[in-house]
Homo-oligomer: A and B are copies of this chain.
């Protein structure tokens, strides 16, 4: 009942959905960039703009947190959740930045697989975050979190396979340096999605 009296800005659920929405925007734009091998200034700027919006959303949450007496769940969980969602968007932006600097404009089948996994995982993260609004239907949260964990394992195996192949095939050490970092970064996005899922899962258990 009480939350009816709170001003609209106090709605952390709206803020979290907004923030995770930007992470998904980044993942979708990333997939587009990778599938086309399009690292044009315009495409890269799109990702940067999304990252900037995500940053602002994170700031709004922290500002809200620092000025709210009542929060829907523990303050440290709100902090952790914002930080991890922010890290997802940041990492995607970092990868695109690195690919630009390294001039990795040739489409790579392997990266396309990672981009698919990342989009799928971030979509599940959005689901899990949405689920926090109504913990009575917690099954959808649990299902999303389990699937995010599974995708992280798939990502691990993909990275191992791709790196083994890279070291086998690529004779140019400079190319190895570049691609090794990019593939490891791509897998890191899935790690961070798993971190978000852990935070959501732990909030869910506490509220149960």
Residue positions of A touching B, CB distance < 8 A: 62-63, 66-67, 76, 97, 100-103, 160, 163-164, 167, 173-174, 176-178, 180, 202, 205-206
Contacts and interface: CB of A to CB of B under 8 A. Distances in A.
- Main SS of the interface on chain A? helix
A55 to B, nearest CB: 10
Nearest to A180: B177
Contacts of A178: 167
Contact of A76 (B62, B76, B97, B176): B76
B62 A202 contact: yes
B66 A202 contact: yes
Nearest to A198: B62
Contacts of A167: 101-103, 174, 178
A205 B174 contact: no
A205 B63 contact: yes
User: 7 smallest A-B Cβ distances: which pairs?
Assistant: A173-B173, A66-B205, A101-B164, A101-B160, A66-B206, A101-B163, A173-B174
Contacts of A173: 173-174, 176-177
A66 B176 CA distance: 44
Contacts of A62: 202
Contact of A176 (B101, B174, B180): B174
A206 to B, nearest CB: 5
A16 to B, nearest CB: 18
